[in-house]
A and B are shown apart, each in its own frame.
Chain A
């Protein structure tokens, strides 16, 4: 469904990603693991078109999306959940979802109501300003907002970072539930427990390059790789 092939991304003069390639098949949850500053967020932003790569190619459902503007990429069906948990702080929860909602021609699976069904907690406080939410509520909202755009592919950037264990457990459950609705997910994580529990396959990124990839089971066995790239 998503095929990233040899992308090089820069921030100004800083060369951050070195020939990163990865593929995600329809229905899979794939995780991108790496330490702080490894390049996970940059990879996500490259796919979303927010920091377009200078070289390489990205195919989504067979179509090239490199160089396409983020709003068009979103309309093609990629939902983006940023690591910063950036909600539209001046708007209420309801308004956050309202402006994100996008009814495509043809199949509409996700909309505001459906997103509320996944996170009933948000429905209860839907008129509250997004700027006043707790970390967990914000994260629910950024995911709900991405869903409201009716994606079939989700980029999740460290959704559990810095949240209380109970909230993490809840989010993990919801992400697993997303798969049962047919969503494909690329998940950036530092939390190995979360990532390995959810995913089918894993990529390990370090210093802007993919160092290892394989099934999650293999990674669990492979102590050496985990030690080398993931321990702080």
Chain B
């Protein structure tokens, strides 16, 4: 094979892998957002802030447990759990009192929540940024047929499908998933058959926010953990959710794939303008399918 072609093929495969790794975090975050949007009908602007809280928590937990692989894996579970707990408090004491109000009110309220979580991060971690090294087992790349595959991307590639399968199971096979699907469309009737919708909403909100925290914990060792990391993710997540169809978890998966892959492949084509590609993809998708790729729950 001609060396130049070989080189581009290699970099193509590597970029696809990097893109799929990015897809995983995008999918985890945006599936949580879309779940809450579909079932509770709340566009949760604080989702990005919770992702950031997840990242900072993952930093602290990993540090506290010695900074090694054990700390990293523990943080993958504990940070999202803590975020879920935080969101449960916000839901039970604040949000649950507002379900009767109109969407604008809920939107403004979650915006307020985002500001509160932002300040919480400032109070606890200060305004500087943190960074967390990857655990040794995920550093560097794995050579395979002359390809250098980043180990952490491979790891993310395993986590993504696990989360997707977990969500599929939750939505289709568990009672709470079935109730959520019913409540997404006929909230009132779910109450009228004797189901306490309030607790179903609390559980779904908690699961959605758990996913935000998990996303944050997964990116923590790959980028600088800083104030402001919530702003970019929330924009990306909302674009993905809109692209995939509001409230549709599989739409979020498709949207994340498009967003993640165009992002990483754009680097190969026009490195200076690579940031434009995912947004251009969103525009193309929405021009072709204004209501999103898959069925919207709204």
The chain A residues found within 8 Å of chain B, CB to CB, are 48, 50, 69-71, 74-75, 80, 82, 86, 88-91, 95-96, 98-100, 102, 145-146, 148-149
Compute how far the CA of A88 lies from the CA of B175 in the bound complex, rounded to whole angstroms.
14
Known: A98-B178, A99-B179. Contact between A89 and B193, CB under 8 A?
no
**Interface of B: prevailing SS:** helix
The listed residue (B178, B182, B192, B195) touching A50 by CB distance below 8 A is: B192
Compute how far the CA of A9 lies from the CA of B216 in the bound complex, rounded to whole angstroms.
49
Whether B192 pairs with A102 at a CB distance below 8 angstroms is no
Whether B191 pairs with A91 at a CB distance below 8 angstroms is no
Chain B residue numbers with a CB within 8 Å of A90 are 181-182, 184-185
Known: A90-B182, A90-B184. Contact between A99 and B192, CB under 8 A?
no
Query: Given known contacts A69-B196, A75-B194, A91-B178, what 14 new A-B pairs fall within 8 Å (CB)?
Result: A50-B192, A70-B191, A71-B195, A74-B191, A80-B193, A82-B189, A88-B185, A88-B186, A90-B181, A99-B175, A99-B190, A100-B195, A102-B193, A146-B193
Q: Chain B: which residue is nearest A148 at the CB level?
A: B193
Q: Chain A: which residue is nearest B179 at the CB level?
A: A99
**Interface of A: prevailing SS:** helix
Q: Chain B: which residue is nearest A48 at the CB level?
A: B192
The listed residue (B182, B184, B188) touching A99 by CB distance below 8 A is: B182
Q: Is B197 close to A, CB under 8 A? A: yes
Q: Chain B: which residue is nearest A76 at the CB level?
A: B194
Chain B residue numbers with a CB within 8 Å of A99 are 175, 178-179, 182, 190, 193, 195
The listed residue (B181, B190, B194) touching A102 by CB distance below 8 A is: B194
Q: Give the interface residue-count category, chain B.
A: 10 to 19
Whether B185 pairs with A71 at a CB distance below 8 angstroms is no
The listed residue (A50, A69, A74) touching B193 by CB distance below 8 A is: A74
Chain A residue numbers with a CB within 8 Å of B189 are 82, 86, 88
The listed residue (A71, A89, A145) touching B191 by CB distance below 8 A is: A71
Chain B residue numbers with a CB within 8 Å of A70 are 188, 191-192
Compute how far the CA of A52 lies from the CA of B188 in the bound complex, rounded to whole angstroms.
13
Whether A50 pairs with B175 at a CB distance below 8 angstroms is no
Sample of 20 A–B contacts (CB below 8 Å)? A50-B192, A69-B196, A74-B194, A75-B194, A80-B192, A80-B193, A86-B189, A88-B181, A88-B185, A88-B189, A89-B185, A90-B184, A95-B178, A98-B178, A99-B195, A100-B195, A102-B193, A145-B193, A148-B193, A149-B194
Chain A residue numbers with a CB within 8 Å of B194 are 71, 74-75, 100, 102, 149
Known: A99-B175, A145-B193. Contact between A91 and B188, CB under 8 A?
no
